[in-house]
Amino acid sequence: MTITTEKQLSKLLRIGKICGTTLKMMQEAVKPGMTTAELNDIGARYLYEQGAHPAPILMYKFPGATCISINDEAAHGIPGDRVIKAGDLVNIDVSAELDGYFADCGGTIAVPPISIENKRLCDFTLAALEAAADVVTADRPLYVIGQAVEGVARKGGYNIIRELSGHGVGRSLHEEPRHVPNFFTKRAKQPLTDGMVLTLEPFLTRGIGKVVTADDGWTLKTVGGSPACQYEHTVVITRGKPILVTAV
């Protein structure tokens, strides 16, 4: 969507804060020995208390209020009886709707003891998100996002999971532009416009950068089993710095 009124922005910021707070609560709760279902329940409980509706259930009948993906699971991990272990990389993706507005955010937590490799992967993926946020300004082409992410990935020696990308969001979970590439391509020449709402969400891995759908029909796992990392914010494009809708 494109924000055109203060009322729209206020409503988007409201659900953005709820999603961001949910993500932060879940990240702080991660510990070895808990199941991903227990972690999901923490987020689901807070979302419902705020009057929000988990978007994965609302839009896609996903079997969980949030997506929790571990290690080589790049995205769409189903909460269940899997036990979180010391040393795991745990990615949490939170998206929800309130009063007709949607926001989407995500982040990866490295469970202690944290290996040098996992810390470095997280650091570079977060840096890729920050680099993307630094370049999104009205009237620039969409491909500046992928250009920024790719620059950080190359510097760190990581591959981008090209099949996964950012997207438009606001009045639905997935809107135009449906694909916000995390790699440079001149085909992504659509201009960013003042008020445009989209997600920035780089996915990096030490592996080949491809994913396959697991037998559960939802979870996307890296080909070769290499750990994956993702960070995500919903943002509003302006003529200056973007508004980080899901920041808390």
Q: Name the pLDDT band for 239 (thresholds 50, 70, 90).
A: very high
Residue ranges of the domains in the chain?
6-244
Q: Name the pLDDT band for 142 (thresholds 50, 70, 90).
A: very high
The reported pLDDT for the residue numbered 153 is: 98
The reported pLDDT for the residue numbered 225 is: 97
Q: Name the pLDDT band for 194 (thresholds 50, 70, 90).
A: very high
The reported pLDDT for the residue numbered 127 is: 98
Residues 195-211, mean pLDDT to the nearest whole number: 98
Residues 108-116, mean pLDDT to the nearest whole number: 97
Residue pair 74/31 in contact (Cβ under 8 Å)? The answer is no
Residue pair 136/147 in contact (Cβ under 8 Å)? The answer is no
Chain centroid offset of residue 227 CA: 16
Pairing of strands 101-110, 220-222: unpaired
Residues 104-126, mean pLDDT to the nearest whole number: 98
Q: What is the CATH superfamily name and number for domain 6-244?
A: Creatinase/methionine aminopeptidase superfamily (3.90.230.10)
Tell me the Ramachandran region of residue 217: left when phi exceeds 0, alpha when psi lies from -120 to 50, beta otherwise: left
Residues 193-212, mean pLDDT to the nearest whole number: 98
Q: Name the pLDDT band for 120 (thresholds 50, 70, 90).
A: very high
Structure tokens at 193: 């416009």
Residues paired with 86 in a beta bridge? none
| pLDDT tens digits for range 62-103 | 999 999 999 999 999 999 999 999 999 999 999 999 999 999
User: Which residues of 59-131 form beta strands (DSSP E)?
Assistant: 67-70, 73-75, 89-98, 101-110
The reported pLDDT for the residue numbered 175 is: 97
133 CB-contact burial (10 Å; exposed 0-12 / middle 13-18 / buried 19+): middle
| pTM reported for the whole predicted model | 0.97
Mean of pLDDT over the chain: 98
CA 139, 154, 152, 84 torsion-angle sign: positive
Residues 13-25, mean pLDDT to the nearest whole number: 98
The reported pLDDT for the residue numbered 246 is: 98
CA–CA separation, 170 and 105 (whole Å): 12
Percent of the chain with pLDDT over 90: 100
Percent of the chain with pLDDT over 70: 100
Structure tokens at 197: 């709402």
Structure tokens at 194: 């003042």
Residue at token pair 């309130």 = 98
Rg over CA atoms, the chain: 17
CA–CA separation, 65 and 96 (whole Å): 9
